[in-house]
Structure 1
Amino acid sequence: MKTNKIFFTCLLLLIASSCKNKTKQNFPTTNQVTYANNMPITLLEEIKKHLKDQERIESDELSFENPYHLTARDLELSSMIIFEGLKSSGFRSITDEVFNQKIKELFCIDNLKNQYYKIHVKDKYITLFGRQNDDYKSLIKDEFEDFAYTQNYYLLRKEHLFFEFVPLKYLIKINKDNTYKINIEPYIIHRNKYLFNNDKASLAWLFNNEQFILSKLLIDYGYDKEPKINKMVLDSVYKENTKFPEFIASLFFIKNKDCKLQIRKSLLKYVEGNTSATDNRFIYALGSFMYTLYDGDAKDPSYKIFEEDPSKKFTEVEKAEIVANIANIENPAIEKYKSLASSDVWNNAGSSLYNLSVSHPEVIKIIEQHNYFGLPKMKEIIAKLHEEAPPIGADLE
């Protein structure tokens, strides 16, 4: 079984590949706009210089005696050009306040800090590092290297944009008379219109043409507020792991960069709202994960499900908190949907919490000691456990 990071990387690549194969005949390859003199001549001259400099960027095919290395200024110039082109494509500029609210919701960046993944905050931009396993010094050193190597994305704090680095030659052509043509790829337009303008038509475009970036919002950045994205990712992960359904818990319960538990509450709420008498896939998958938390992953390396054994990855208190959050949606769903008519779907004899409480009664004590982790249903759920079938081996007299 592949490890978490390898699997999710492959999933993103698979989604990216499928999107590239979709027809885009209803959309232009680029959005081209010709301008006369919107930009100051000094800025145009600077762009010309950087266009020339960027001709000396090295690649696997090209090398130079004096190669040019991209800088923050190259990023800023790209941002200015992209912003100019986006305005002609219906993008509405937003305030700093709205931008900060958006990046908090979409990228978990609050007060320019992120506790879940490595970023680099500067006055004009925020780098969202792609190679999260690299040490921070290396990430800073390679911050503006080729996207194919770094997988870095950037949030531009003045123009309020999101994009990976795009060389200037793909964005602008300047004529001898200083008129110029800006070319913006549709994916840049629709990403930014969805992220910062909440444009539903752009969301639909992304679903049809670029599911990769939508999946990345949830898997890498933790954005779990859009039900359509939640459904797409959960369905994909479950479909690829039907033999190991508990793997899906990797989306819900993760460790942040400080090794503290992060629970994606909105994703749990999505599962709660989309479970029915005929569909309990995700509920049962999460229930299976409860047992893995305490029994551990497979001992045979070839059958391991998780990158790191959950029984060792999480502390006893964190395990209990995970169990409580799963039981908080599983047990009410059992009461609501389990019946003779649905017994072919809801076929487990007891709840996962009940079964776990028999083999690991300490989990109930930890949940109670921590005031049910702020989950209002849990007190009643625990009180009702005695109503379930008695444990195996109990005296039935």
Structure 2
Amino acid sequence: MRIDERYINILIPYAFNDLMKRGFVPVSSALYNKKLEELGLACEQRQKLPYIYEYKHYFTSPTIMQGWTDDMAEDGIDKKEREYIRNAPISNIFVKGYNFCLPKPVLDSFLRNSKGKVAFHLSDKIVHLNKFLFNDSKASFTWLLHNNPEALKDLLLSYGYDTNDAINKLVLKDISTEYANVEDVSGLINTFIRKVYDKKPHMEIREGLMKTILRLPVNDKNVMWQIILETYIDYLLRKDKAGCPYWLSHFTWEERYKAAAYLGYYLYKDRLRYQQNETTGFANELYYNDEFRDNLEKHHYFMLPGFKETCGKIYEEYDFLVKTSHTGE
């Protein structure tokens, strides 16, 4: 049975009461809205997103882990797609006033038959997600890590929630596994960067994910991140689309230059931890790619601390290598 607005309005108080019985502490509107802002879902933020639907008592937001793809919004959303987004079970519901969230429900999933009696019962996953998000419960976070890591990863993939190191490490583990299997970045969509199709399409950079790389132990396993970042930069700056993941074409050259700058910045910070000084593909791009270098200058190296000086040093060292190779010294 598909649940429409009328059913959801009936469902809300039952869901809230069940949450309360199982340890959820009600939160103020101020705290709730602060968390929504962290997820990019504050009122003024979601007004720009054409795939979020507002109702009197709640709003819906489609999630990547439940089947949403940004391709649907790339060329605008037509009537058929709107119907699908509204009614398919691909969204989270964020309830106003009661201040909690739950996946877009299928009625049967909340009904439990116990000794011949039908009772309303939220899944443990929903309860712990709410207690983690809105009550900052460490116990619920630990439960989710072990029993529903997909919900945690979805917070980063769908909402750009990149301020939690443990969640970032879950996503990084997936990235490293994906890269080890295919040795390119085709499967890394919506990880370090994401194209958001709102009224003014733009790129999100998950800088928190890059910062987590710098907090990983220095060892032979984690040095692989330098290879992954190098590969990502290489694809971002390729003029030839052949062999590039289809989703990279969603980004403008301005966006690709910015993303390459951020990735290069954290690449060299990580190389410093490993005391590495051999040349890189990023150095090659910085030396030969005038458009990329000019873009860095135009944007003041994106105000990344010390990046201008780092790039100057990289350029000088590469220039020395090029000139000595030509003279045969």
- Contact 2:196–2:202 (CA<8 Å) still a contact in 1? yes
- 1:239 maps to 2:181: no
Matching residue within 262, 268, 283 for 1:331? 268
- Deviation of 1:334 after TM superposition, in Å, equals 2.0
1:374 aligns with 2:303: yes
Task: After TM superposition, give the deviation of residue 349 of structure 1 in Å.
Answer: 3.0
Shift of 1:384: 0.7
Report matched runs for 1:232-381 at 5 Å: 232-242=170-180, 243-247=182-186, 250=189, 251-257=191-197, 258-274=200-216, 276-278=218-220, 279-296=222-239, 299=242, 304=243, 306-308=245-247, 310=248, 312-338=249-275, 349-381=278-310
How far apart, in 1, do the equivalents of 2:105 and 2:294 lie?
A: 55
* Alpha-carbon distance in 2 for matches of 1:247, 1:143: 26
SS at match of 2:185: helix
CA distance in 1, matches of 2:125, 2:193: 30
Q: Distance in 2 between matches of 1:282 and 1:150?
A: 35
Check if 1:93 corresponds to 2:22: no
Distance in 2 of aligned mates of 1:379 and 1:266: 21
Rounded to whole Å, the distance in 2 between the matches of 1:262 and 1:285 is 19
In proportion to residue count, which structure has more helix? 2
Q: Aligned AA for 1:158?
A: G
The two structures have a TM-score, normalised by structure 1, of 0.69
**2-structure distance, mates of 1:306, 1:140:** 27
Aligned residue among 15, 31, 34 for 1:82: 15
Shift, 1:286, TM fit: 1.3
Structure 1 residues 335 and 81, CA, compared in 2 at 3 Å: closer, same or farther?
same
Structure 1 residue 73: Cα displacement? 2.4
Q: Give SS of 2:214's match.
A: helix
Deviation at 1:127, TM superposition (A): 0.5
Match of residue 215 from structure 1: 153
Contact 1:171/1:183, CA 8 A, preserved across alignment: yes
Aligned to 1:160: 99
Whole-Å Cα distance in 1 between the matches of residues 141 and 284 of structure 2?
Answer: 42
Q: Counterparts in 2 of 1:6-85, with a 5 A limit?
A: 57=1, 70-85=3-18
Helix, strand or coil at the partner of 1:254: strand
Instruction: For residues 346-369 of structure 1, give each alpha carbon's deviation from its aligned partner in whole angstroms, at most 9, with x where no partner exists.
Output: xx8313331212331331221011
SS in structure 2 at match of 1:391? helix
Q: What letter matches 2:94 in structure 1?
A: L
Query: Secondary structure of the residue that 1:223 maps to in structure 2?
Result: coil
Q: 8 Å contact 1:156–1:162 — kept in the other structure? A: yes
- Deviation of the 1:201 alpha carbon: 0.9
Q: Contact (CA 8 Å) 2:110, 2:122: kept in 1 or not?
A: yes
Distance 1:318 1:163 in 2: 34
For structure 1, the 5+ residue unaligned runs are 1-56, 58-68, 340-347
Cα deviation digits, residues 4-36 of structure 1 (max 9, x gap): xxxxxxxxxxxxxxxxxxxxxxxxxxxxxxxxx
Mapped to 2, the partners of 1:113 and 1:138 lie a distance apart of 25
Bigger relative contact order, structure 1 or 2, given CA contacts below 8 A and separation 6+?
1
1:96: how far off?
0.7
Gaps of 5+ in 2: none
Q: Secondary structure of 1:184's match? A: coil
Identity of matched residues, %: 22
**Partners of 2:187 and 2:3 in 1: how far apart?**
39
Moved more, 246-255 or 366-375: 246-255
The one-letter code matched in structure 1 to 2:203 is: L
Aligned partners of 1:221 and 1:117: how far apart in 2?
15
Partner of 2:265, secondary structure, is helix
Counterparts in 2 of 1:195 and 1:118: CA distance versus 1, 3 Å: same
* Distance change in 2, residues 1:296/1:204 (3 Å): farther
Cα distance in 2 for residues equivalent to 1:295 and 1:142: 36
From the superposition, tell whether residues 136 and 280 of structure 1 become closer, same or farther in structure 2 (CA, over 3 Å).
Answer: farther
Deviations 1:14-63 (A, max 9, x none): xxxxxxxxxxxxxxxxxxxxxxxxxxxxxxxxxxxxxxxxxxx4xxxxxx
**Residue 266 of structure 1: how far off its partner (Å):** 1.0
CA shift, 1:320, in A, is 2.2
8 Å CA contact 1:154–1:164 kept in 2: the answer is yes
Residues 351 and 313 (structure 1), Cα distance of their counterparts in 2 relative to 1, 3 Å cut: same
Q: How far 1:390 sits from its partner (Å)?
A: 1.5
Q: What letter is aligned with 1:265? A: E
Q: How many Å separate the matches in 2 of 1:275 and 1:246?
A: 23
